[in-house]
Amino acid sequence: MNIGYVIKVLRKQRKMTQEQIALEAEIATSNVSRIEKGLRQPSQKVLLKIAKALDTTPSTLYAACEQPIASIPSFLEDQTAMPCHESMNHVHLSFDANDLLTLFHELSPRNKALLLEQLKTLHRWQMSTDFGAENLTENHHCKIKIR
């Protein structure tokens, strides 16, 4: 799914114009138009600005992208109907998590499935080693370097 479509749907739900979004996000109106039409993918920085202008988060926009096209408007309405602290999908993510979501979104469906299987395998492996769940605390995290 094109994130531009999600942005357009949410913008219309908010009864905002492309010009209003562009002004609040401090970007050109033509960029908003190109993003909504799917002619351009927003950078993480631009997406963050657009999400802020729409009073949402990039993670909510990405989550909407994963919905069936017919469900996107209702999904966005449900997300915005709940106060921020009650919405499970309205989470402030770290920069690493936002990078991960951005990269994941750009993968093909086949590669998304492959990555999820690899992540599940890695998680099972971690749980079966000495660094399993009983040894992990909030202050102790394993770091994985990918080269």
pLDDT tens per residue, the chain (147 residues)?
Answer: 689 999 999 999 999 999 999 999 999 999 999 999 999 999 999 999 999 999 999 999 999 998 899 999 999 988 866 544 334 444 555 667 777 777 887 878 788 888 888 888 887 888 887 654 455 544 444 444 444
Q: Check if the beta carbon of residue 104 is closer than 8 Å to that of residue 119.
A: no
| Whole-number CA gyration radius for the chain | 18
How much is the pTM?
0.57
Helices (H) and strands (E) in the chain, counts: 8, 0
Predicted local confidence at residue 20, as pLDDT: 95
SS3 140: strand
Q: Give the count of beta carbons closer than 10 Å to the beta carbon of residue 33.
A: 17
